């Protein structure tokens, strides 16, 4: 009898990859019940977290494209073909057309991605930002200390949870914010911060690790590319110079997208991510090209900065080709969604929700998920705290359905994103009931305060200052 059960268990494991991700737990539960005589309902919840992943679990690839605007893809209506590979990948999977960041800076938004918490809950509100007062101090003394927020130690990060679940974890980043000082290396067996290095450099590192691996465990790979970030490098043959300075700048920005797209195309096929791999591609925030009078990602929570790419693909691991889903979603939803898809325990104290019901091939999309459609999503951006005599101020945003509130010290701004996607018409005075509702919900979040005050002192020398200046992080 024991031999027959063992043979049956081996057969089930070999066939497991044919089931969608969410269906694998059911198969495993039934198999374990047959093998042990226990009821299926007790076989999953009683498992320790570290035994959640096995050799048949899918690999996971999470790619963050820093400063990438999804409306610079043809699938979102852009006039240029900037990224044919990304376009193809998006078409083969499911993309959330109304995905939003929790901030318009890298450190807070990526912290939300890693923890499923809003910025005031994880406490990382700034990152590497050198103000002019600091810059002058560096010129006088080479040991100016910058106080950096750190990820709260009591909040598990996505790589930590995956590592405990049995995944091999590896990460490479080229953004100065995404490194050990803030705590982004937590949970990674292999982590390398390659500040200001190109996509090809990051790809070479991941390929070297992959080819030097005989570990049978499933792998979680995190890549954070900074190639689309300023300074905008003009990449041939995609760049086209114009007599208009703004058009020239946008063309350089687009050429960076095209360059990165080619690297991702090669990496995807060289590492066979089309097989038994869940691939998630997001951006941390967008970029402004004078839509509201500014360039880059300065102090603002407008649509061109808050809207992000969020795409899931992996047809052989249960992610259907749903095309575009229009429900409002946020970066805080990534972690619970991935844990749900991988059948791992989701912590109970997260701000985000699992989007896996929307990725379910049997679901009829948004209409069957009222709780997701009716949520209010939030974002935060802190203002310059280092101007002499100026109090600390904050920008906040709340999004529900077509409505978006931006709360500024100068007064509220209310927009209808369906009728006014460029956020030109302030409806705060015309829609007092909607304004009051959103402000009340936002006040609920603001009332929590900033719960994490863990910081680390980092010396800012002239070399670091020059790096920050090249990225536009000196204000």
Mean pLDDT by 10 residues, the chain (475 residues): 38 39 42 36 32 76 97 92 94 94 94 96 75 46 64 94 96 92 94 93 95 86 95 93 93 96 97 95 92 82 96 87 90 97 93 92 61 93 60 87 95 96 96 98 93 63 61 56
Write down the pLDDT at residue 297. Answer: 79
**Whole-angstrom distance, CA of residue 403 vs CA of residue 400:** 5
Write down the pLDDT at residue 463. Answer: 61
> Which long-range contacts does 137-146 make (Cβ < 8 Å, 24+ apart)?
138/460, 138/461, 138/462, 138/465, 142/459, 142/461, 142/462, 143/459, 143/461, 144/459, 144/460, 145/457, 145/458, 145/459, 145/460, 146/457, 146/458, 146/459, 146/460
List, in sequence order, every beta strand (DSSP E) within 303-371: 307-308, 310-313, 323-330
Paired sense of beta strands 277-283 and 190-193, if any: unpaired
Write down the pLDDT at residue 287. Answer: 95
Please report, for the chain, how many H helices and E strands are present, in that order. 16, 17
| 277: number of Cβ within 10 Å | 20
Burial 134-154 (b: 16+ CB within 10 A, else e): bbebbeeeeebebebbbbbee
Write down the pLDDT at residue 371. Answer: 84
Question: Which residue, chain included where needed, has tokens 């990534």?
Answer: 334
By CB atoms closer than 10 A (0-12, 13-18, 19+), residue 433 is exposed
Write down the pLDDT at residue 193. Answer: 94
Q: Which of 297, 397, 324, 325 is nearest to 69 (CA)?
A: 297
Which superfamily is assigned to 59-377+449-470 in CATH? Alkaline Phosphatase, subunit A (3.40.720.10)
CB 293 within 8 A of CB 34: no
Write down the pLDDT at residue 150. Answer: 84
Write down the pLDDT at residue 216. Answer: 85
Write down the pLDDT at residue 419. Answer: 96
List, in sequence order, every beta strand (DSSP E) within 239-333: 277-283, 288-289, 295-296, 307-308, 310-313, 323-330
Structure tokens at 84: 């044919």
Tell me: cis bond preceding 231? Omega within 30 of 0 counts. yes
**Whole-angstrom distance, CA of residue 37 vs CA of residue 361:** 32
Domain boundaries, the chain: 2-47, 59-377+449-470
């Amino acid at each position: 009898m024991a031999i027959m059960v063992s043979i049956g268990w081996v057969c089930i494991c070999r066939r497991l990859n044919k089931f969608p991700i969410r269906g694998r737990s059911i198969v495993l539960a039934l198999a374990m019940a047959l093998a042990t005589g226990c009821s299926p309902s007790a076989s999953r919840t009683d498992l320790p977290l570290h035994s959640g992943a096995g050799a048949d679990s899918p690999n996971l690839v999470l790619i963050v494209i820093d400063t990438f605007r999804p409306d610079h893809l043809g699938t979102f209506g852009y006039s240029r073909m900037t990224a044919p590979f990304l376009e193809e990948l998006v078409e083969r999977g499911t993309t959330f057309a109304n995905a939003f960041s929790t901030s318009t800076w890298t450190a807070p938004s990526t912290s939300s991605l890693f923890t499923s918490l809003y910025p005031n809950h994880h406490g990382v509100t700034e990152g590497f930002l050198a103000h002019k007062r600091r810059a002058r101090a560096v010129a006088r003394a080479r040991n100016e200390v910058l106080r950096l927020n750190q990820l709260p130690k009591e909040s598990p990060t996505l790589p930590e949870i995956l590592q405990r679940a049995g995944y091999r974890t590896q990460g490479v980043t080229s953004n100065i914010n995404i490194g050990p000082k803030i705590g982004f290396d937590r949970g990674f067996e292999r982590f390398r911060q390659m500040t200001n290095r190109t996509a090809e450099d990051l790809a070479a590192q991941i390929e070297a690790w992959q080819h030097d691996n005989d570990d049978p465990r499933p792998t979680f790979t995190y890549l954070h590319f900074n190639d689309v970030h300023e300074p905008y490098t003009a990449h041939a043959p995609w760049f086209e110079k114009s007599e208009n300075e703004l058009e020239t700048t946008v063309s350089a920005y687009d050429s960076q997208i095209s360059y990165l797209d080619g690297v991702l195309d090669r990496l995807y096929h060289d590492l066979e991510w089309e097989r038994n791999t869940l691939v998630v591609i997001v951006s941390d925030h967008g970029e402004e090209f004078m839509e509201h009078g500014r360039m880059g990602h300065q102090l603002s929570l407008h649509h061109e900065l808050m809207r992000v790419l969020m795409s899931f693909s992996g047809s052989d691991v249960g992610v259907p080709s749903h095309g575009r889903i229009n429900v409002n979603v946020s970066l805080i939803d990534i972690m619970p969604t991935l844990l749900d898809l991988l059948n791992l325990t989701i912590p109970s104290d997260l701000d985000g929700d699992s989007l896996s019901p929307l990725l379910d091939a049997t679901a009829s999309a948004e209409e069957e998920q009222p709780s997701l459609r009716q949520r209010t999503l939030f974002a935060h951006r802190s203002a310059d705290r280092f101007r002499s005599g100026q109090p600390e101020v904050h920008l906040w945003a709340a999004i529900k359905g077509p409505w978006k509130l931006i709360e500024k010290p100068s007064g509220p701004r209310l927009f209808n994103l369906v009728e006014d996607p460029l956020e030109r018409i302030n409806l705060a005075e015309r829609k007092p009931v909607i304004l009051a509702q959103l402000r009340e919900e936002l006040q609920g979040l603001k009332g929590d305060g900033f719960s994490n005050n863990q910081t680390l002192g980092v010396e800012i020398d002239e070399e670091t200052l020059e790096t920050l200046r090249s990225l536009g992080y000196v204000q």
